[in-house]
Amino acid sequence: MTGPALHTSHLTLRVADLGRSVRFYRDVFGFADLGTDADGRTLLGAGGTVMLALELARDADAPRPRVEPDPFIGMEHFAFEIAPDDFETLRAFYRRLKAVGAEIHHTVDHIVTNSIYFLDPDRNLIEAYVNCPRERFQAMEHPYGSLESLDDALEGKCLPTWMREAAAAK
């Protein structure tokens, strides 16, 4: 038996400072303010589609998500696909993160994706990624094994591994 066709609708985050979080998600992702819902959450998104709902926490001093150390219960991170198969768009996004002062946690070549992990003002871990060409990993038994840093490639010092591999194969 198969389940219903599902897709993610939106994510709701409780935040300590609503204005600060709205500015962050607007500046980083270019989200538009789509108004508020009946419960007073600020709705952000693109193309008229709600992607994120921000709700002011009742207690601004409530515990924040812990990125380190690893053992905790709850959401570890959430992710946004920036562009399919387009490393230059990811590189431009990396520059945007640096320009707005976002705290970059780490970058990773996952073989199937190239990813940037960074923190929002409330220390939620966010992944921004682009997919890598399918030819790179379709024959691999365990394609998610790589944890190679993308820092040098994102800084423009070299090409990402999949682009170097493709160039060498020609």
**Active-site residue numbers?**
127
**What strand order describes the sheet that includes 103-109?**
78-81, 125-131, 113-119, 103-109
Q: Which helix (H) or strand (E) is 40 found in, with range?
A: none
For residue 159, give Cα distances in angstroms to 104, 109, 119, 156: 20, 12, 25, 7
Q: What's the token pair of residue 120?
A: 């929002």
